[in-house]
A and B are shown apart, each in its own frame.
Chain A
Amino acid sequence: MNPSSPRKAFHVFRLINVAGPFFGLILVLGLFSLNSEVRPYLYTGGNFKIILTQTVIVAVGALGMTMIIVSGGIDLSVGSAVALTSVLGATLLVKGCSTSATVVLTVLAGGLIGLVNGLVIAGFRMPPFIVTLGMMGVLRGSAKWLAGNQTVNIPSSAPLNHLMALVSPTQLFPLPPGVWIAIGLAVVVSVLMRQTVFGRYIFAIGSNEATARLCGIRVPLQKVLIYALAGLLVGLAGLMQLSRLTQGDPTVAIGLELDIIAAVVIGGASLNGGTGSILGSMTGALIMAVLRNGSNQMGWQNFTQEIIIGIVIIIAVGLDQFRQSRLRT
């Protein structure tokens, strides 16, 4: 028997493992370009700028969600948290806070929400699904209460609006600052998850909590930190939402958490915990944005998009299961 053959096969499997979501992205782009009317517009710099800008909020949310899902948890309160933080940011601006103070306070508010999630989940050993489902209602209600059941408009001249503004819309560059922030954060969180002890512990807890405890990891503390950190990112996503609409809307981002979870899962993470990557989740977020964008240009109705995205999620996870079962002997 050739001793190198199993090893080679092993590396091929690993490559597919890492590159899987990329193939998905290329496939989706390729499929849309089959249509000769869509093709010339789809591949313009301006269109990619739109796609990237549309991806940003889901992508920033997916950074935190990846940490949470890899640790074996879930967060259903993200959409409501984005609405609440965007209303909070708008209210602060309207009340006369400086831009920098608003940014800091809003991001910290997001962190506080995550901290509460983490404390309840770790402190009372409650299932994250239930805790964050409850928080989804609490936060949505709070957002409506804070906004007085209406939108909070901020002045169109507010510097915060530049975060997501599309300058020179026919070219790829300059990209809105929000896109660069998302890319930078993706690199930071990716390094955090792959190369630091904190990050390795996230994988350990998600893979087997009992092992993590056996190996001296302080699981509750670690969980609180994960949810708090993810919360900070959600606060930032709330600011981006505010910038995109130039208003704080308490009814915005309904179902956003499901888009984010879908992006993470398409990117190869398992809801059982222990596997997943930032690169995968970002690709997953892009796949969803490209699907939306392409469907719009095909002139497909909203319901068609929803059906297609639903099917893509099922196919992506189905392929993943298939791959996993092939890997196992």
Chain B
Amino acid sequence: MFDQLMNAATFTVPRLRMSGVRKSFGATRALKNVSFEVAPGEVHVLIGENGAGKSTLMKILSGAHRPDAGAVELEGKPFVPANPLHARRSGVAMIYQELTLAPHLSVEENILLGEEPARFGWLNRSRRRELARQALAELHHQNIPLDATVNSRSIAEQQIVEIARALIGQTKVVIMDEPTSSLTQADTENLFAIIGRLRQRGVSIIYISHFLEECQRIADRFTVLRDGESVATGDMAKADLPQIIQWMVGRPIGEIYPRFPHHRGKPVLEWRALAGRSKPQAASLTLHEGEILGIAGLVGAGRTESLRACFGLECIRSGVVLVRSSEATHRRPGQRLAGGVGLLSENRKAEGLMLNRSLADNLTLTRYGPLSRFGFIQNSRQRQATREWMDRLDVRAQDPGQSVSELSGGNQQKVALGRLLHHQASVFLLDEPTRGIDVGSKAQIYKLMGQLAAQGKAIIFVSSYLPELLGVCDTIGVMCRGVLSEVRLADQWTEHRIMAAAIGQASPAAA
């Protein structure tokens, strides 16, 4: 009731307004012209490819960067936060993609971190407990124990703690950056319910996501960013997806899942009842030349562990791995690479790439032979080889010597994939290759996978995103609690059947 009155009173004044915001870093123009408005109690999604300027925008709102030009207003007053604390005190809270909790502190300590109720530096513990409990209650999650350390809770619960933290104080705007990227379906539903509750309280939400279907479900309005400019804004209910995608990439995407004619050849990789330390329990499959084999399943089902055990990064407890029909179960990663098997890590930043090294170093790390003369690496050859891969993979960067940390997520992923191509791998183990990258780069990666299969390469494609699995793969298996189902032709699966198998509803082939 009160909320409604307030909404009516402030209807003409948007909660947050950005107009003509610009920001450059050296010669890079991250934001050229960004304008949008968010009303009180509105869920506003920001859509754009990686590198479109979303993160810079967030950093301006959180006080990490200052805009070069343009105006930001919070409830009609100029808003230029000097630092993250200032932004939060003004009522703007951030929830980052990578959670920013202190892992060794308790849930309660984390919720009130930086805002501890205190008098002359003395902590008021009972008040802190009360505030933390209130915040969790507001999210309907009183079940999370306040005394548990944060690192003992699941990712989904940690995210709820993070949201609870954002609710401390007079929060007016909550900004969420890709909040569902590491959540399961059920936790995602739960998050949407929480967003609904925040909206009822009159909190405005700026929501960043690559999952357009998700945006359609929860958003009131949207703004599309492209190359640092806001190119379109409107009501989500009236928008259609192909149009939004076209705004994002600036060109119509013809076929997002292109098919290249390819046929199955000889078997190149076989798992027979592969089992790791705890996961997988039993994974059997046969991968052929020219085949794209998808592995679906929930996060934590054991898909990543299967690939890592096969590649030699985790131990194999039992089972057999055959490469080109000869037994090769226990091998080091170096030996796998020598046999033409390459792994793309699901975690680009922590494992996939050397972030502070150059593109050239990252691309060529596993195969220096053709770049060397008399055992000495020739820098010119390394740069030339890197340039060729940059052109072929459409990696947008200034120079082969540029550090990969400066690239957008999509371009980084292309560099990580490029390393396997430069290595001339013939069997690709791709773990979530399209996670957290923009639609344009995704389409390029699908195309690349199709081309590789047409050349007779074999690919195992692990993904949590069902449309892409169904769109790209020839065959699909579903992993549930460490057990891989029978691998069947893709057209025998539907999203519904895969989901049922992933949550253990269908009878798995092996047990």
Contact = CB atoms under 8 A, between A and B. Distances in A.
A196 B376 contact: yes
A274 B372 CA distance: 22
User: How extensive is the interface on chain B, given as a class?
Assistant: 35 or more
Contact of A196 (B336, B377, B419): B377
A6 B398 contact: yes
Contacts of A197: 368, 372, 375, 377
Nearest to B382: A200
Given A195-B377, A214-B313, A327-B403, A9 B353 contact: no
Contacts of B26: 6, 9, 326, 329
B366 A5 contact: no
Chain B interface mostly: mixed
A203 to B, nearest CB: 6
Given A216-B337, A217-B334, A191 B376 contact: yes
A323 to B, nearest CB: 12
Chain A interface mostly: helix
Given A7-B399, A14-B401, A204 B354 contact: yes
B361 A213 contact: no
A207 interface: yes
A274 B353 CA distance: 12
A207 B357 CA distance: 7
B25 interface: yes
Given A10-B398, A329-B28, A216 B366 contact: yes
Nearest to A272: B356
B352 A214 contact: yes
Interface string B397-419: 01101110110000000000001
B197 interface: no
A10 B27 CA distance: 9
Given A214-B313, A215-B333, A200 B403 contact: no
A191 to B, nearest CB: 7
B360 to A, nearest CB: 10
* Highest count of chain A CB atoms <10 Å: which of B337, B354, B355, B403: B354
Nearest to A217: B334
A197 B402 CA distance: 20
A303 to B, nearest CB: 37
A197 B398 CA distance: 25
Contacts of B333: 213-216
B332 interface: yes
Contacts of B356: 207, 270, 274-275
B351 interface: yes
Nearest to A208: B354
A275 B356 CA distance: 8
Given A196-B376, A328-B406, A329-B30, A216 B361 contact: no
Interface string B9-32: 000000000000000011111100
B118 interface: no
B309 to A, nearest CB: 14
B380 to A, nearest CB: 12
Contacts of B30: 329
Interface in B319-378: 332-338, 343, 345, 350-357, 361, 365-366, 368, 372, 375-378
Given A207-B355, A216-B336, A326-B26, A200 B345 contact: no
Interface residues of A, number: 33
A215 B337 contact: yes
Contact of A216 (B334, B353, B355, B378): B334
Nearest to A274: B356
A258 B354 CA distance: 28
B332 A210 contact: no
B25 A204 contact: no
B422 to A, nearest CB: 11
A216 B331 CA distance: 11
Contacts of A204: 354, 357, 361, 365
A200 B361 CA distance: 8
Nearest to A324: B356
A149 interface: no
Interface string A201-236: 001100110110111111000000000000000000
Contacts of B372: 197
Contacts of A191: 376
Interface string A1-37: 1000111011100100000000000000000000000
A210 B350 contact: yes
Contact of A215 (B27, B366, B401, B402): B366
Contacts of B398: 6-7, 10
A327 B398 CA distance: 13
Contacts of B366: 215-216
27 contacts: A1-B29, A6-B27, A6-B28, A7-B399, A10-B399, A195-B376, A195-B377, A196-B377, A197-B377, A204-B361, A204-B365, A208-B350, A208-B355, A211-B353, A211-B354, A214-B333, A214-B351, A215-B366, A216-B338, A216-B366, A218-B332, A218-B334, A327-B406, A329-B25, A329-B26, A329-B28, A329-B406
Given A211-B351, A274-B356, A329-B28, 16 more contacts: A5-B27, A10-B401, A195-B378, A195-B379, A196-B376, A196-B377, A197-B368, A200-B365, A203-B357, A207-B354, A208-B350, A210-B345, A211-B352, A211-B354, A214-B343, A214-B345
Which 5 pairs between the two chains have the least Cβ-Cβ distance?
A: A216-B334, A207-B354, A6-B27, A210-B351, A329-B25
Interface of A: 1, 5-7, 9-11, 14, 191, 194-197, 200, 203-204, 207-208, 210-211, 213-218, 270, 274-275, 326-329
